[in-house]
Amino acid sequence: MLILGLESTCDESSASILEAPTDILVNVVKSQIDDLKKYGGVVPEIASRLHLNYLIGTINEALEKSSKSISDIDLIAVSHRPGLLGGLLVGTTIAKTLSLLLKKPLIMVDHLYGHLVASDLDKGIQYPCVAGIFSGAHSNIYYGKDDLTWEMICKSRDDAPGEAFDKVSKLMGLGYPGGPAIQKIAENRNDKMFKIPSPVPKSLNGDFSFSGIKTHILYQIKGSNAKTACPKENYPDLAASFQKSVAEGLSKRLIDCALEKNVKNIYIGGGVAANQILRSYLQEKSNEQGIKSEYPPLSLCVDNAAMIARAGYILHESGVKSNLSDNVYSRSVWGLDC
Ligand code: KG4
Ligand code: ZN
């Protein structure tokens, strides 16, 4: 069975062809980063117009690279939540049109479910497990009982970690996207020079908060309460201290959740899961507890349509059906109704 996956929730236009169950024939991702850099981040209206320009091109490229024709496709999977509504409308309208014309089933996928099952396309997921989605918009940890049964354990009360990386990067004049820029300048720098608040404040019962960290860095950079501003030459140390605090907070919370749920496998996904310090810190600390942590390759951490195709396939096999009247939504409901 060949599944065409489509992704357009934020600033990546992506089309993938997956040979069921897990063989990625092609995963074309057209990032809008170069177009959006001049605005300092994602502008929803501009992003949706760029999806309109790019998405059909990614489908054609995927078909060409996999030597398949559109009539070979058996199932169409598309993200319909959570995300920017304009982009979601572009993706779902293309998917619905293809489904109608080709008379092939359509599956609407929660994008966060896509991130959760992305690890299936790498080494495979062993259930039960705990999985964290850390991206530009989310900081959620889930308990996965089996491939269809997920329960959200905790979330962020305000910003997401990717958003914090992006904002700190902007404050340091490093531009967008912030994650890779912060990771780069922080390399081999002193991550103990600055004391940064934890993203898991005691008062939030295990939920995350990133707004305090962001404000803390703002005060460090601008100076406050008679404190002098951090000199520019120390920005890399400030970036390293910030990155370490985020990596430690996310890892510690993941490991605590795994211990609470008595599971031996942790997975991470979403753009921030590409962070090398988070990856190595999580692996080291989870190993100490006898827990295995896995993360997919970078190409499957960031937004991509292969993970949407995989999620669509699992839903289709379980009998889930979508139809042409299904809508788009800005919020996820994945793992909230278990
Ligand atoms: O999952 P994703 O591609 O899109 C969303 O669904 O949000 O995540 C994008 C976010 C951005 O905020 C970006 O700065 C962050 O992931 N990111 C990183 C790294 N690479 C991307 N954050 C930390 N370290 C990285 N290496
Ligand atoms: Zn995402």
Residue nearest to atom 26 of ligand 1 (CA): 275
* Whole-number Å distance between alpha carbons of 25 and 33: 25
* Whole-number Å distance between alpha carbons of 267 and 131: 5
Q: Residue with structure tokens 């092939």?
A: 104
77 by DSSP, 3-state: which? Answer: strand
Ligand of minimum distance to the alpha carbon of 162? 1
* Whole-number Å distance between alpha carbons of 174 and 177: 9
What is the 271 CA–ligand 1 centroid distance (Å)?
3
30, pLDDT greater than 50? yes
> Predicted confidence band at 186 (pLDDT cuts at 50, 70, 90)?
very high
Indicate whether residue 174 lines ligand 1 (CB < 6 A). no
150, pLDDT greater than 90? yes
At residue 121's C-alpha, the angle toward residues 48 and 259, to 5°, is 100
For the chain, domains (ranges, CATH) are 2-117+300-317 (3.30.420.40), 124-295 (3.30.420.40)
120 by DSSP, 3-state: which? Answer: helix
Residue 331, both tokens: 């919020």
Cβ atoms within 10 Å, residue 39: 11
Residue 169 Cα: closest atom of ligand 1: 14
What is the 180 CA–ligand 1 centroid distance (Å)?
8
Could you report the per-residue pLDDT of 100-113, keeping only the tens digit for each?
A: 999 999 999 999 99
Q: Residue with structure tokens 């996965």?
A: 144
| The predicted structure's pLDDT at residue 224 | 79
DSSP 205: T
| The predicted structure's pLDDT at residue 338 | 46
| The predicted structure's pLDDT at residue 226 | 64
* Whole-number Å distance between alpha carbons of 97 and 91: 10
Could you report the per-residue pLDDT of 242-285, keeping only the tens digit for each?
A: 999 999 999 999 999 999 999 999 999 999 999 999 999 999 99
225, pLDDT greater than 80? no
* Whole-number Å distance between alpha carbons of 185 and 5: 35
User: What values do phi and psi take at 241, rounded to 5?
Assistant: -70, -40
What is the 41 CA–ligand 1 centroid distance (Å)?
12
Q: Residue with structure tokens 């929730």?
A: 9
